[in-house]
Amino acid sequence: MGLGIAVIASLMQSSSALVRKQTQVEKAWLVEQDAIRVLELMARAIRMAGYRKIGSLGEYRQGLRMAKVDYIGLEHRTGWNHSDLLWVKHEPADGTEGDCLGNRVEQVSHGKSQSRTKKGLRYQGFFVQKVGGERGGSIMCASLDRQGRLQHTSLMNHIDTLHFKWVGQQTRSGEPTSPTRAGVHIALKTTLMEREFSRFVAFRNMP
């Protein structure tokens, strides 16, 4: 009788350990999928930075003569836990591209202006904000509403740090060719896993 109870207890312990392990694996998978989703949103914004809708050579030359616009910027250690802030600006494309919330530009009925723009430009920003009652922070998306006002929405919780770094153009040997920026490196850490999620995003529309 005693041997039977011992065997049952051992099986229950093994089963409990297996359930815990399975729960940990599922949680890690969910965190990874969430991180991949957020990295893709930031990558898409970076690739759009500096986009201008130019229909002719004349428009291109006119744009060169216009006042210089900063289409992308980094602010280091300004967010929660010394995280960084990234912001991008660009002209609306064909109206089908969405911002970090999936919102698309719409034509305003009373004129030629477009919704979710300010001075003809779309805006997106990414930073970390502390979440009350939790150990980590939340990645926030800053975008424009229909009236062009800034709005903030949470994209992912349980964030430890978020960092951005300029990456310059390099030769095959790894030596920098010029001070020209080639893209941005993103590094994201959560409080749920020790792993760092990172990604390099090359510029597509920046000079």
Angstrom distance (rounded) from CA 202 to CA 46: 8
pLDDT tens-digit series, residues 23-53: 677 888 899 999 999 999 999 999 999 988 8
Is the distance from CB of 139 to CB of 128 less than 8 angstroms? yes
Supply the pLDDT for residue 100: 80
pLDDT tens-digit series, residues 176-192: 545 578 999 999 999 98
Is the distance from CB of 90 to CB of 48 less than 8 angstroms? yes
Is the distance from CB of 176 to CB of 169 less than 8 angstroms? yes
Is the distance from CB of 80 to CB of 129 less than 8 angstroms? yes
pLDDT band per the 50, 70, 90 thresholds, residue 205: confident
Q: What is the pTM of this model?
A: 0.79
pLDDT tens-digit series, residues 64-75: 555 577 899 999
pLDDT band per the 50, 70, 90 thresholds, residue 164: very high
Supply the pLDDT for residue 115: 74
